[in-house]
Chains A and B, each alone.
Chain A
Amino acid sequence: MLWQDPLAREVTRREFFGKSATGLGIAALAWLLGRDQAQGAGRVGGLDGLPHFAPRAKHVIYLFQNGAPTHVDLFDYKPKLKELHGQPVPDSYVAGKRFSTMTGSPQGKLLLAPVEPFKQRGACGAWVSDFLPYTAEIVDELCFIKSMHTDAVNHAPAICFLLSGGQIPGRPTLGAWLSYGLGTENDNLPAFVVMTSVSKGTTCGQIFYDFYWGSGFLPSRHQGVKFRGSGSPVLYLDNPAGIDPGVRRGMLDDLAALNRLKWDEYGDPEIGTRIAQYEMAFRMQSSIPELTDLSGESPATLALYGPDVLQPGTFAHHCLLARRLVERGVRFVQLMHAGWDQHNSLTTELYTQCKDTDQPSAGLIKDLKMRGLLDETLVIWGGEFGRTPFLQGNLADRPRWGRDHHPYAFTIWMAGGGVRPGLTYGETDDLAINVVKDPVHVHDLQATILHLLGIDHERLTFRFQGRDFRLTDVHGRVVEGILS
């Protein structure tokens, strides 16, 4: 809504003064062209006074792993789990805890050793299992947080919680907050882009709800623009048959001329914004195809991302697009990859899942690093919770081994813009069930991400239903220990 939108309000003011001074205001036109010097070079939109302090990162790529990757089998190495393999989980670890209804009571559940062996990797000696050979190669760039914990135990509420700070849909997500607060650096593209993919051959897919990238009560132009996996990546991007770009350009010129007459007569600033947005739409009609044209990428670069990189809709393809997006100044790129929900497929689908994501994730880090983009880009890899160190299924039936949802501890990694590389932060107990050192709650992670972008999470607020809402609700503290 106009009245709660600082950008629009600013236009109102500026256009008004511009208009009364010179007819059609010069300042207004400058805004229309998206080149507002007052905001600092290259930045379009955002709030005055933001960032609050010097940012460590300018862009974010969130590699969101829907379904909850198993921290027990990938990162959080516990020799004792191997020792107690097949033994009932000690009551003291799980007493009074709620699990998914599939588990019901955790009492007497059997502990399950990691499926693949672990090794210490790189100079930093971080533990990564053989499931992730490519990630293992880049651990010295990564900062592992092993002490993540969350409030939600089912997928949709937990993902919603992680991305928006609330379990119930309706709040703005991280990317929307950043678009709102910081604007973007390329007005040929949206500030917040989302791409979704799903593991090949997964049997347990989770739905991607649009509230995972919603703008909630923020103006809806801040919501994530979801690129599609097939056909045109942005809906309605292609001109209709019989209208080529030249005709469209001419049509837009006529449209602008007629709209300007209207603007002169009616003075409604929204008309100016309309002209600007039609122009942006037109620019996106060419910037999006340019973005998705990978013919200029070298074979060496493509190889980094693995064999699927040229196949639209895959995680690998999206990782490459993510790099191209931040390269072009897009603020927040959210990739979501579903299929990590191994209730009964630890020894089967987990392999495919890792294969689909391991090399592209590592490739993205390497590629960003080589291009000098890693310093200014924050990359986050992780899911919505962890998986139970005890077994779901029958111990004798190895092909159907699984692990259930586990909100009490999970591992994520971060890299780039402002986080300490080669660090392992936080610790779980000797069975990877509970956090015992340096716990990081979801709100803490959110506060830290905003901090790295130069934002005090307590001061980025939006008034709705009479309350000043923020991403971190009324909680959250910056995890100082992981800052570089």
Chain B
Amino acid sequence: MRETVWVCMGIAASLVACGVAQGEEPRVDYLRQIRPILADNCFRCHGPDEAARQSGLRLDVRELATAPADSGQPAIVPGSPEQSELLRRVTSEDPSERMPPPETKLSLSGAQIDLLRRWIAQGAHYQEHWSRTPLRRPALPSRSPWADEDHPIDRFIDARLQEQQLRPLGKADRYHLIRRLYLDLTGLPPDPEEVDRFIADRSPDAYERLVDRLLASPAFGERMAWDWLDAARYADSNGYQGDAERTMWPWRDWVISAWNRNMPFDRFTVWQLAGDLLPDATDETRLATGFCRNHMINGEGGRIPEENRVDYVMDMIETVATVWLAATMNCARCHDHKYDPFTRRDYYSLFAFFNQTPVDGAGGNPQTPPVLEVPTEEQRVAVTELEGQLAKLRAELLAQEKTLLEGSSPDSLPEEVRTILQHSPDKRDADQWQRLDKHLEGADSYRQLAARWREWKKRYDQLRREIPRVMVMADRDEYRPTYMLEKGLYNRPAEEVFADVPQCLPPLGEGGKRNRLALAEWLVRPDNPLTARVVANRLWQQFFGTGLVRTPEDFGTQGEPPTHPELLDWLACELIDSGWDIKRFCRLLVTSRAYRRDSRATPELLEADPENRWLARGVRYRLPSWMIRDQALAASGLLVAQLGGPPVFPYQPQGVWEEATFGNKSYRQDRGAKLYRRSLYTFWRRIIAPTMFFDVASRQVCTVRVTRTNSPLHALVTMNDITYVEAARELASRQWRAFSQEGADRLLESLFRRVLVRPPQASELEILRAALARWEAYYTAHPEAAEALLSVGEAPRSAGPATQLAALTVVAHTLLNLDEALSKE
């Protein structure tokens, strides 16, 4: 069905593109119309995979498809469908000749066969796959007739709308705009005061100034971080059996800070993949490489360390391939990629870049070296101070010991004591100290000094233990050779390979080291056709709900082609030419009219474009669950907006961890402020993810695709999780304190605005008014229920009449569960 739509669009598009007069045969587009047919039906046996190739026929390369196959017949004779074996075989009635063979259960439709015939008749022209063609900045289409102000993105979008004969909707109202913008750029809703200011600001650049304010807010980095953590498979535990806790959170804080500082994306890339190899490497650049080490660690008994190590390296390169190249490199682990020109050799050549770390894969240590100590500022100060103290004490101690050793006769100082004293004080164990104490009973000043030394040393050791250690990257001195692995098995090495980039992409270049740094720099080189497109697409997805390419993880032939290929290329060029300026890029997206459009779908638009691919209307979709939670906390006033730090343990139903881990892990819920931190800081146990989120990445492997489902289990969370009920009662209490003197309507209106930003319509207010009256009557009759409701959660129950507060709480809870509250609109 979708295939058909595509074909139609393709034809429509090429009609327009070529300006073909009616009646003339339209030109068949290889990439949009032919390649998908061949890829789905033929490439498995007649494609890039050499091992699987049948009959010496390869159809994905024109020179080979038009050359004689094993049979002596060329599959394709350009210009002559009649002489083309391909066409004879797909139309053959003889099951032994028919392609694809009947046992594959694949078959071509009449329309597909007709397309093939016309394509061959027109000369069977091939094109390079769109995502690997060199990036060239497309010319801007002309200004659209609807444009009240000019924006390059809208020129591209509107050009396609004209082709589709769709008329875009106007701008959303300011209430919708400010909510949309706040949620997209900070993940939080705006304060009512901020809304009032924006509504009142009639200056022409009010919107742009709002954008700049939000880009400068620290919450921007937190919002951007979530998607990056999904891609980086960040978690606070190892995964697998044991699921030991790790301390990668300083890396997470670094990510937030990098987004907030607007670190150019090319540097962001190089630091995370190879910050340890930079000539001027610092602790910060090394910390950034924690990205690579966020993979799961398997501590299961009976596993072979080398097998684990190989798994980790595979995870690293598959993550890199997805995040920067949108390449499904994992398909080439065991054989050449079936659809894209990535070979098994390419896979293991990438593997070689990451195969040089000293990690050995043994055990489940969540701080498997190499690690980096990342002290907080206080810890750093304390360490320096203690080290100074210890140095001073050590000098005194050694001086006194020297005197003891030199000034005592062998009788008064037995050999045993002499031996101990010759050990450095740092190396002595408790037993040795005890023996010293015993033998030197008379030497009080020495013993006091030694006791002080031990005390300070203990404090120092304790402090050092408390400093978080982040797993980072390093290459070992000795080169580890890399072999292609049969079936991807660690113990089936075949031919040796060397570090290199996939052969179908621009070469790494001669000279210089072929290490991770070279790879990282190659990824962000302007002639890399993929990275900028892939990153631009993911950012588009973040603001428009789906990418211009709807398969952000796959830009290969089996992924979807972009709806707006020229726009994607233009955006990618913007990204590179701006020096990979992310904030500037975000600003570019949100200032377009396409972003600012009204999202009310007319029946006509719904029928013409049900999935809103052409963006004639504004996007509307359910918010990520973490944002729904943050929104509830923010609206209620409970949110604690502290940036960074160790993970927190908010409300979670009892027993969930215990059950999943046979009682080995107990969830110790936090108290006080930590219950109200942003969702980003919630402790992420890999084998049992936080239960209050839904449709989230598992954080087990790299995920760049958004899941958006609509399930009853989600409704149960937002209706019954303590977080939401407590938020509702706090929201109600605060509004009641501020507005109860001004009448029910004013109260309901302020409540409504606190959640949905816009004021309610009369019909909505009517429903809320009736609800409030109903619940007041109910809680008057059930005072104990009112008290119970007002005691949910740990925030103290606020002063005020129970019936009214409880009634208002139910209304607030209803509002928090509205589809509009759960959605970006």
**Pair B712/A241 contact, Cβ less than 8 Å:** no
**Pair A247/B775 contact, Cβ less than 8 Å:** yes
**Pair B810/A247 contact, Cβ less than 8 Å:** yes
* Chain A to chain B contacts (Cβ below 8 Å), 16 pairs: A2-B708, A16-B607, A220-B707, A221-B710, A236-B721, A241-B791, A241-B792, A242-B785, A254-B814, A266-B601, A274-B819, A275-B819, A281-B719, A285-B716, A465-B554, A466-B551
**Pair A242/B656 contact, Cβ less than 8 Å:** no
| B681-702 contact mask (Cβ, 8 Å, vs A): 1 or 0 | 0000001110100110010110
Please name the residue on chain B nearest to A206 by beta carbon: B241
**Assembled-state Cα–Cα distance A101/B767 (Å):** 67
A1-B707, A262-B820 given as contacts; is B556 within 8 A of A466 (CB)?
Answer: yes
| B758-789 contact mask (Cβ, 8 Å, vs A): 1 or 0 | 00010110011001001100100000011111
* Interface membership of B450, Cβ < 8 A: no
* Interface membership of B432, Cβ < 8 A: no
**Pair A254/B771 contact, Cβ less than 8 Å:** yes
**Pair A236/B719 contact, Cβ less than 8 Å:** yes
* Interface membership of A123, Cβ < 8 A: no
**Pair B710/A231 contact, Cβ less than 8 Å:** no
Please name the residue on chain B nearest to A404 by beta carbon: B302
B interface residues with partner A (beta carbon < 8 Å): 2, 39-40, 105, 240-241, 243, 300-304, 328, 331, 338-339, 546, 550-551, 553-554, 556-559, 599-603, 606-607, 610-611, 620-622, 653-656, 659-662, 687-689, 691, 694-695, 698, 700-701, 706-717, 719-722, 725, 761, 763-764, 767-768, 771, 774-775, 778, 785-792, 806, 810, 813-814, 817-820, 822-823, 825
Residues on B with beta carbons closer than 8 Å to the beta carbon of A466: 39, 328, 339, 551, 554, 556-559
Contact of A266 among B620, B653, B717 (CB under 8 A): B620
**Assembled-state Cα–Cα distance A278/B718 (Å):** 10
**Pair A267/B687 contact, Cβ less than 8 Å:** no
* Interface membership of A426, Cβ < 8 A: no
Among A87-95, A207-215, A316-324, the stretch that binds chain B is: A207-215
Residues on A with beta carbons closer than 8 Å to the beta carbon of B243: 207
**Pair A251/B813 contact, Cβ less than 8 Å:** yes
**Given known contacts A1-B708, A2-B611, A230-B655, what 18 new A-B pairs fall within 8 Å (CB)?**
A13-B610, A16-B603, A16-B610, A102-B302, A196-B659, A207-B241, A211-B700, A219-B707, A228-B659, A231-B655, A236-B720, A241-B788, A250-B775, A251-B817, A268-B601, A268-B620, A270-B621, A270-B622
B396 to chain A, nearest CB (A): 53
**Assembled-state Cα–Cα distance A336/B706 (Å):** 30
Q: Which interface class (under 10, 10 to 19, 20 to 34, 35 or more) fits A?
A: 35 or more
Residues on A with beta carbons closer than 8 Å to the beta carbon of B710: 8, 221, 270, 273-274, 277
**Assembled-state Cα–Cα distance A226/B5 (Å):** 38
Residues on B with beta carbons closer than 8 Å to the beta carbon of A248: 719
**Assembled-state Cα–Cα distance A257/B760 (Å):** 14
**Pair A258/B767 contact, Cβ less than 8 Å:** yes
Residues on B with beta carbons closer than 8 Å to the beta carbon of A12: 606, 610
**Assembled-state Cα–Cα distance A241/B557 (Å):** 54
**Assembled-state Cα–Cα distance A350/B553 (Å):** 46
| A459-473 contact mask (Cβ, 8 Å, vs B): 1 or 0 | 100000111100000
Please name the residue on chain B nearest to A259 by beta carbon: B819
**Assembled-state Cα–Cα distance A169/B556 (Å):** 22
**Pair B559/A465 contact, Cβ less than 8 Å:** yes
Residues on A with beta carbons closer than 8 Å to the beta carbon of B717: 235-236
**Pair A154/B653 contact, Cβ less than 8 Å:** no
B761 to chain A, nearest CB (A): 8
**Assembled-state Cα–Cα distance A458/B107 (Å):** 14
**Assembled-state Cα–Cα distance A235/B710 (Å):** 17
Residues on B with beta carbons closer than 8 Å to the beta carbon of A262: 818-820
**Assembled-state Cα–Cα distance A241/B789 (Å):** 5
**Assembled-state Cα–Cα distance A12/B767 (Å):** 27
* Interface membership of A225, Cβ < 8 A: yes
B504 to chain A, nearest CB (A): 16
Residues on A with beta carbons closer than 8 Å to the beta carbon of B662: 198, 205, 207
**Pair B790/A242 contact, Cβ less than 8 Å:** yes
**Assembled-state Cα–Cα distance A263/B620 (Å):** 12
Query: Which of B602, B708, B768 has the most CB atoms of chain A within a 10 A radius of its CB?
Result: B708
B776 to chain A, nearest CB (A): 12
Contact of B303 among A154, A205, A235, A247 (CB under 8 A): A154
A258-B767, A265-B600, A284-B716 given as contacts; is B654 within 8 A of A231 (CB)?
Answer: yes
A257-B767, A265-B600, A266-B599 given as contacts; is B714 within 8 A of A277 (CB)?
Answer: yes
A167 to chain B, nearest CB (A): 10
A236-B719, A237-B720, A465-B328 given as contacts; is B788 within 8 A of A242 (CB)?
Answer: yes
**Assembled-state Cα–Cα distance A458/B100 (Å):** 15
* Interface membership of A238, Cβ < 8 A: yes
Nearest 3 CB-CB pairs, A to B? Answer: A466-B558, A242-B789, A242-B788
B818 to chain A, nearest CB (A): 6
Residues on B with beta carbons closer than 8 Å to the beta carbon of A198: 662
Residues on B with beta carbons closer than 8 Å to the beta carbon of A259: 818-819
**Pair A235/B691 contact, Cβ less than 8 Å:** yes
A247-B810, A254-B767 given as contacts; is B655 within 8 A of A228 (CB)?
Answer: yes
Please name the residue on chain A nearest to B605 by beta carbon: A267
Contact of A238 among B546, B601, B720 (CB under 8 A): B720
A239 to chain B, nearest CB (A): 6
**Pair A281/B822 contact, Cβ less than 8 Å:** no
**Pair A284/B240 contact, Cβ less than 8 Å:** no
Residues on A with beta carbons closer than 8 Å to the beta carbon of B825: 266
A277-B711, A465-B559 given as contacts; is B819 within 8 A of A271 (CB)?
Answer: yes
**Assembled-state Cα–Cα distance A331/B553 (Å):** 32
Residues on B with beta carbons closer than 8 Å to the beta carbon of A22: none
**Pair B709/A220 contact, Cβ less than 8 Å:** yes
**Pair B788/A236 contact, Cβ less than 8 Å:** no
Residues on B with beta carbons closer than 8 Å to the beta carbon of A220: 694-695, 707, 709, 711
| A169-213 contact mask (Cβ, 8 Å, vs B): 1 or 0 | 110000000000000000000000000101000000111111100
Residues on B with beta carbons closer than 8 Å to the beta carbon of A221: 709-711
* Interface membership of A255, Cβ < 8 A: yes
Residues on A with beta carbons closer than 8 Å to the beta carbon of B716: 234-237, 281, 284-285
**Assembled-state Cα–Cα distance A377/B485 (Å):** 44
Residues on B with beta carbons closer than 8 Å to the beta carbon of A250: 771, 774-775
B617 to chain A, nearest CB (A): 9
B686 to chain A, nearest CB (A): 9
Residues on B with beta carbons closer than 8 Å to the beta carbon of A468: 40
Please name the residue on chain B nearest to A273 by beta carbon: B710
A197 to chain B, nearest CB (A): 10
**Assembled-state Cα–Cα distance A225/B712 (Å):** 11
**Pair B600/A3 contact, Cβ less than 8 Å:** no
A251 to chain B, nearest CB (A): 5
**Pair A219/B709 contact, Cβ less than 8 Å:** yes
Residues on A with beta carbons closer than 8 Å to the beta carbon of B778: 246-247
Residues on B with beta carbons closer than 8 Å to the beta carbon of A261: 761, 763-764, 767
**Pair B713/A281 contact, Cβ less than 8 Å:** yes
Contact of A242 among B554, B611, B806 (CB under 8 A): B806
Please name the residue on chain B nearest to A271 by beta carbon: B819
| A355-389 contact mask (Cβ, 8 Å, vs B): 1 or 0 | 00000000000000000000000000000000000
Query: Which of A262, A263, A458 has the most CB atoms of chain B within a 10 A radius of its CB?
Result: A262
Contact of A258 among B557, B655, B818 (CB under 8 A): B818
B548 to chain A, nearest CB (A): 14
Residues on A with beta carbons closer than 8 Å to the beta carbon of B302: 100-102, 154, 405
Query: Which of B599, B806, B813 has the most CB atoms of chain A within a 10 A radius of its CB?
Result: B813
A102-B302, A169-B700, A281-B713 given as contacts; is B814 within 8 A of A156 (CB)?
Answer: no
A219-B709, A231-B655, A267-B603 given as contacts; is B715 within 8 A of A277 (CB)?
Answer: yes
A43 to chain B, nearest CB (A): 18
Please name the residue on chain B nearest to A188 by beta carbon: B712
**Assembled-state Cα–Cα distance A1/B622 (Å):** 11
Which residues 73-116 in A have Cβ within 8 Å of B in the complex?
100-102
A261-B763, A467-B558 given as contacts; is B817 within 8 A of A208 (CB)?
Answer: no
A243 to chain B, nearest CB (A): 6
